[in-house]
Amino acid sequence: MPSIGATPRRELIELVKNGLGEKIFEYAKAHPEIIKKYRDGFPIIYL
């Protein structure tokens, strides 16, 4: 089944690699309650 955002856009990947990813990780470490379980099929963007 197709979904919106199944493939991350190049702009999003660049934002993550250029600092947004680190900010997200820092926030998640400070607020672990926001972390959700991974659902099959969601894209993963690596730094």
Kindly indicate the confidence band of residue 4, based on its pLDDT and cuts at 50, 70 and 90. low
Instruction: Give yes or no for a contact between 39 and 1, defined as CB atoms under 8 angstroms apart.
Output: no
Q: Quick one: residue 18, left, alpha or beta (phi over 0 = left, psi -120 to 50 = alpha)?
A: alpha
12-28 tens-digit pLDDT: 888 889 999 999 999 99
Backbone dihedral angles phi then psi of residue 41, each to the nearest 5 degrees: 100, -15
Q: Mean pLDDT for the chain?
A: 84
Kindly indicate the confidence band of residue 8, based on its pLDDT and cuts at 50, 70 and 90. confident
Question: Is 90 exceeded by the pLDDT of residue 34?
Answer: yes
Kindly indicate the confidence band of residue 45, based on its pLDDT and cuts at 50, 70 and 90. confident
Q: In this structure, what token pair is assigned to residue 34?
A: 């926001």
